[in-house]
Amino acid sequence: MSKGLGKGINALFPGESINQMESVEKIPVKEIKVNPYQPRKIFDETALSELTESIKEHGVLQPIILRRRGKSFEIVVGERRFRASKAAGLKEIPAVIREFTDQQMMEIAILENLQREDLTPIEEADAYQNLMENLSLTQEQLAFRLGKSRPHIANHIRLLSLPEIVRELISANKLSMGHGRALLGLKRKKLIPSIAEKVMKENLNVRQLESLVQRMNEDVSRETSKVPNKDIFIKEKESQLREYFGTTVSIKKSKNKGKIEIEFFSEDDLERILELLED
């Protein structure tokens, strides 16, 4: 975590008290802009309407956190309260003004949403990817910085390899993250959208989808190779390796020799696998 950031974060989240040395100001709503690093794209309209009604009746009980940006302000924490306040017709909103760098803004925006579990798996994946690119971090460094496991980071980022239509289905909560991971195991990538539709139409759970993907991949293997069916031992080892690496793994054995093929989907995914091999 950035030097000096931890102390600031502790006071940022809703429910935490504002430092007694800080003053709460009334800031015109029209002078406030949303956080450009906000990872959350989807806001629950029902929850937002309920908050709007609460603000109409009781006002804004917890000040939002802003940083000064030229003649205006950017939201650090409290975008839901800001949106609800605008919807409630408020002209001003209570706020505390603090100084933050762009790097701190990015980290805080993600940490706040992760604490509140407000992000969809795709929003979380995008947030991790943006942090890695903008702060030049590896997956392991990012995991340490955010207090997450490396597999957690890696499994989310892999979702970004899915076709856009499937990512949208996950964001809309029509498919789960588990469904997305299973779909990534398909050897024929062009079939992913159609299989995703099948999952929704037939209401397949993740285990059922994994079985379907395995059968389809075995069909591909039979079509592209005359090698006899793999024995149970090889299949079990493939399954163990798939679970460990989080991707398709194929063991090809011939007499006393063979090879192991590990599939990756991007440079970051390759880096993730290489790090696992080094462990």
User: Are the C-beta atoms of residues 226 and 252 closer than 8 Å to each other?
Assistant: no
Other CB atoms within 10 Å distance of the CB of residue 248: 19
Distance CA 109, CA 65 (A): 11
Structure token digits, residue 33: 């802009």
Which amino acid makes up residue 7? K
**Alpha carbons 240 and 115: distance in angstroms, whole number:** 32
Helices (H), the chain: 5-10, 45-58, 79-87, 102-116, 121-135, 139-146, 150-158, 164-171, 177-184, 192-202, 206-224, 232-245, 267-278
Q: Identify the active-site residue in 22, 50, 53, 79.
A: 79
- Give me the amino acid identity at 96: V
Q: Which amino acid is at 26?
A: K
Known active-site residue 45: no
Residues annotated as catalytic (active site), given as ranges = 79
